[in-house]
Structure 1
Amino acid sequence: MLVKTFGSAVYGIEATTITVEVNIASGTKYSIVGLPDNAVKESYFRIQSSLKNCGYHMPRQQVIVNMAPADIKKEGSSYDLTIATGVLAASNQITPDELDKYLIMGELSLDGGLQPIKGALPIAIQARKEGFKGFILPKQNAREAAIVSDLEVFGVESITEVVGFFNGTVQLKAEIVNTREEFYNSVNNYDSDFSEVRGQENIKRALEIAAAGGHNVILIGPPGAGKTMLARRLPSILPPLSLQESLETTKIHSVAGKLSASDALVTVRPFRSPHHTISDVALVGGGTNPQPGEISLAHNGVLFLDELPEFKRTVLEVMRQPLEERRVTISRARMSVDYPSSFMLIASMNPCPCGYYNHPEKECVCPPGMVQKYLSKISGPLLDRIDLHVEVTPVNFTELSSDRLAEKSEGIRERVIRARDVQIARFGSQQGLHSNAQMSTKMVRDLCKIDTAGQTLLKKAMEKLGLSARAYDRILKVSRTIADLAGSENIEMEHLAEAIHYRSLDRENWAG
């Protein structure tokens, strides 16, 4: 008897429906075809044990399983439940009448229980698109998939529930998630606030500019000056995620298996902080079975690289292209997958190995030339892609012990949102363009015009600091953001001067 069940394969952040055909005929051999990997081939042993332990039996006949389309590689253990359901239906242990209306996925335990799968959200989206009535999957993934409307999502704990459902002896309750309510109830839930930071008003100003224009930032200062504390509070002043951004971000985390059973949506902007020992593949994504890296997990949020010079140079260099294109393409012999990676980069570093170069009180003990050698670990092209270079100085005792309340993140965020609204109105209906940092070179020439006095100031700065053409564009973008925060239609001299000020690492006094 021939039976068809339906599963799904995820490539990048998109899903492709897989048809699992199970045919039982005379003979004794079990065969699985359609480019299965080892995890799929091993499903036979998991299925056999789970069926036996749940009171069902594996047919003692020839069982042929075909996974179509046959030219796409099938990977992972999430097809266990799809194949097992097909085997039970082909051997008349399940009524097959309703099988074609449901997409079925799940990894089987030997006792018939189900383990969670990756990519439930993009699979559910594709299932709805292709007109399936429902999606049966492990209970741990049910909330994640249930944010897709017009699709019945059934979370199950064992294969026994699936058999009972198709045989009409068990009623499954569909998981229901109110997507908009879930989103708006937690969209502003942040654990930290800028009001907790004493002093550092100039650094807060720089981070406000960065948030308003989506600019990349590097913080340079001695140990204990507050670089990490400031960086961790940056997401709290960024504009809240839109529902579309939330869904896109959730898809990436779903594919990577980063969502917990209680999560339905990623409702706050991600903050990713990988350790400096990370590999280039872990940062940008890839591997034998391509997975999203840290830069994609930070999509629509913040990627924080603490102690930037300690990262391997090759790791930092692979970020250059994604920083410009805001997506990363991973190519393999049989396929190519795209992961979005539109993130704000915020990096921190000590000014030298001992950490006290240019410190107002402590003396640097590094030998001559060491400062320049330390800074040279970061390439010029990468520094060019960082818009704001900000010096962080230690906070004195008076500021630390002051009872004066600092401004809350909420107040800063309101100014940032107003500036972003100006930018969105300026860019109009241009697809995927939300902030000044995303402007192309042509747009910079059209939208960041400066007067003669500004041209003279910028010319002197470029000659003195030896800035590249890319750095020239970055200064104009930052000055445009400063003007937007000030509510100014034109870029004035003070806006340009402040933008030039945020190029610390281009100055001669950092040569060591």
Structure 2
Amino acid sequence: MPLSRTWSVALLGVDGLPVEIEADVGQGKPKVQLLGLPDPALNESKDRVRAAVRNSGLDWPDQVTLALSPADLPKGGSGYDLGLACAVLAGAGSVPQTKLGGTVLIGELALDGRIRPVRGVLPRLLAAKRAGLKCAVVPVETLAEAALVDGIQARGANRLVDVLSWLKDEESALVEPSPPSSVTRATTSDLVDVVGQPEARWALEVAAAGAHNLLLVGPPGTGKTMLAERIVGLLPQLTPDEALEVTAIHSIAGTLSADVPLVTLPPFIAPHHSASIPALVGGGVGLARPGAVSMAHRGVLFLDEACEFGTPHLEALRTAIEEGEIRLARRDGVARYPARFQLVLATNPCPCAPIRDVDCRCTPNERRRYFSRLSGPLLDRIDIRTRMRPIHAMHNSDVGPPESSVTVRERVAKARVRAVERWAAHGWQTNAEVPGPALRRHFRPPAKAMRLLDRGLETGFVSARGADRCIRIAWTLADLAEKDCPDSDDVAAALEFRDRRAA
């Protein structure tokens, strides 16, 4: 019997690596060997594939040796099932090998021959495209996701027999992808719903314009959560490259919608304070899967009741905040996931959380212990801190109605365009991404403004990292005011945003 080959893809974080599937079919005592460091789920595929082939009306060879190459790469999951089945049947002569050489096959097989969806189809096909493969067969439920990859002709399959008919050049039931669905911005959460809080609303606008991290502190019922949930409505839509990047992460996590497979709006991820550290930063056995920080890539990670999170949970965010990615070392290797998110924290000032400070029953030590979960190094990475005040009136006719998200989003969009034009030559998209050395050397505010920062450093009001973040905020304030360079007023306002007393 001839040796047959086809292709699948292994996932290493958000990166894929093409895997060559080889099948050697012979005669003798029934035996199936699977080589190439399979995990338990993949090792069980021998029985799934054999049952699927038999229940599809085909004979299973007596002796089968299957090899997945590169052999030293640990492989896991059930996405190899379809490729293994087609390789075996091609080796047995049941189907021709003509189309297998340039086709990547992805899907899990049910015992009756149905093809079930698997996670990570988009990053797998992106890797297949880089490897020069031109055709792909995927489960029909993930076809819309597969169609996002230009340069690969994707088809969807419901059953194994459909794929075999296609390999034989017979009339098959493989499904062609449909045109992509359009996505409209949700309009349910609007900034006009928030009563009062002009300082916090301004802080939210500045944070959205520069992608700055934000801390909201205040008594319960003042609108902290309402404000945080509405920040996504102020952010611009993702660019095509960013949308593919974010969609690939959500594909691995298995959270994509079959109706709208492309994530075009910045994600908003809000884990509960009881979430574990692996749920926040990623984890798992064998090879780590993405956590909340990666799911919030190019979007917002919101931690409500931040002081209820454990200190180790909050400290685990520090590396991702600084580097924009998370690297997780596990048994089967190191997985790298993007994690350039905007962190928004909301917390009460103390455990008893009274509406008025004069009603607080907590001792100074209790208040200090409660708020100390937000450590100094973590707070130093929070660009904007603002205190929210109790609401004294549900309306104010003298001031007029509050601004809507559409109005604020227009100002944010203009500010972001100015930032993109300024940093385009350096590859940065927002003010929050600009490294400190570049700000100090090439984009310094005027000398008078820098003297304010120097005074803050001398008095210990800000750290060196905090001074860099003040310059970033000053540039955002200048963008919102449509100024070419921040002045001393912008730097003073940035220093006020970082006042620890606001927390």
Cα shift at 1:382: 0.4
Question: Is 1:398 matched up with 2:394?
Answer: yes
Instruction: Quote the residue 2:407 is aligned against.
Output: 411
- Measured in 2, the distance between the counterparts of 1:266 and 1:190 equals 17
Instruction: Quote the residue 2:120 is aligned against.
Output: 119
Question: Is 1:385 matched up with 2:381?
Answer: yes
Instruction: Quote the residue 1:72 is aligned against.
Output: 73
Cα shift at 1:453: 4.7
Correspondences of 1:256-275 after superposition (within 5 Å) = 256-275=253-272
Instruction: Quote the residue 2:149 is aligned against.
Output: 148
Cα shift at 1:50: 1.8
Cα shift at 1:299: 0.6
Counterpart among 278, 283, 286 of residue 283 in structure 2: 286
Instruction: Quote the residue 1:445 is aligned against.
Output: 440
- Measured in 2, the distance between the counterparts of 1:498 and 1:234 equals 21
Instruction: Quote the residue 1:22 is aligned against.
Output: 23
Moved more, 65-74 or 491-500: 491-500
> What secondary structure sits across from 1:374 in the alignment?
helix
Number of residues paired by the alignment? 500
> Are 1:22 and 1:86, in contact at CA under 8 Å, matched by a contact in 2?
yes
Instruction: Quote the residue 2:309 is aligned against.
Output: 311
The normalised TM-score by structure 2 is 0.94
> Are 1:21 and 1:66, in contact at CA under 8 Å, matched by a contact in 2?
yes
Instruction: Quote the residue 1:471 is aligned against.
Output: 466
1:3-46 CA-to-partner distances (Å, cap 9, x unmatched) read: 11211111121211111111111222211111111111111221
- Measured in 2, the distance between the counterparts of 1:256 and 1:161 equals 28
> What secondary structure sits across from 1:428 in the alignment?
helix
Cα shift at 1:92: 2.4
Gaps of 5+ in 1: none
Question: Is 1:295 matched up with 2:293?
Answer: yes
- Measured in 2, the distance between the counterparts of 1:101 and 1:450 equals 56
> Are 1:448 and 1:480, in contact at CA under 8 Å, matched by a contact in 2?
no
Correspondences of 1:66-215 after superposition (within 5 Å) = 66-178=67-179, 182=181, 185-186=182-183, 188-215=185-212
1:246-302 CA-to-partner distances (Å, cap 9, x unmatched) read: 111111111222212223200110000011122222211232221111111111000
- Measured in 2, the distance between the counterparts of 1:91 and 1:459 equals 77
> Are 2:129 and 2:152, in contact at CA under 8 Å, matched by a contact in 1?
yes
> Are 1:236 and 1:413, in contact at CA under 8 Å, matched by a contact in 2?
yes
- Measured in 2, the distance between the counterparts of 1:492 and 1:169 equals 72
Question: Is 1:423 matched up with 2:425?
Answer: no
Cα shift at 1:335: 3.0
Percentage identity across paired residues of the two chains: 37
> Are 1:206 and 1:390, in contact at CA under 8 Å, matched by a contact in 2?
yes
Instruction: Quote the residue 1:500 is aligned against.
Output: 495
> What secondary structure sits across from 1:399 in the alignment?
coil
- Measured in 2, the distance between the counterparts of 1:101 and 1:451 equals 59
- Measured in 2, the distance between the counterparts of 1:81 and 1:398 equals 61
Instruction: Quote the residue 1:33 is aligned against.
Output: 35
- Measured in 2, the distance between the counterparts of 1:401 and 1:312 equals 43
Instruction: Quote the residue 1:45 is aligned against.
Output: 47
> What secondary structure sits across from 2:364 in the alignment?
coil
CA shift in 2, pair 1:455/1:132, >3 Å = closer
The normalised TM-score by structure 1 is 0.92
- Measured in 2, the distance between the counterparts of 1:34 and 1:394 equals 63
- Measured in 2, the distance between the counterparts of 1:228 and 1:215 equals 17
The one-letter amino acid paired with 1:72 is L
Could you say what the CA RMSD is over the residues aligned between the two structures, in angstroms? 2.2
Counterpart among 343, 346, 349 of residue 347 in structure 2: 349
> What secondary structure sits across from 1:291 in the alignment?
coil
Cα shift at 1:93: 2.2
Cα shift at 1:68: 0.9
> What secondary structure sits across from 2:98 in the alignment?
helix
Cα shift at 1:123: 1.6
- Measured in 1, the distance between the counterparts of 2:295 and 2:365 equals 38
Counterpart among 224, 242, 259 of residue 221 in structure 2: 224
> What secondary structure sits across from 1:345 in the alignment?
strand
CA shift in 2, pair 1:138/1:25, >3 Å = same
The one-letter amino acid paired with 1:34 is G
> What secondary structure sits across from 2:22 in the alignment?
strand
> What secondary structure sits across from 1:390 in the alignment?
strand
Cα shift at 1:460: 4.9
> What secondary structure sits across from 2:394 in the alignment?
helix
> What secondary structure sits across from 1:169 in the alignment?
coil
The one-letter amino acid paired with 2:101 is D
The one-letter amino acid paired with 2:239 is S
The one-letter amino acid paired with 1:226 is G
Gaps of 5+ in 2: none
Moved more, 195-204 or 340-349: 195-204
Cα shift at 1:457: 4.0
1:423-475 CA-to-partner distances (Å, cap 9, x unmatched) read: 222223212x1111112121221355345553454455456664222122222
Cα shift at 1:198: 2.2
1:320-340 CA-to-partner distances (Å, cap 9, x unmatched) read: 111111111223465333211
> What secondary structure sits across from 2:386 in the alignment?
strand
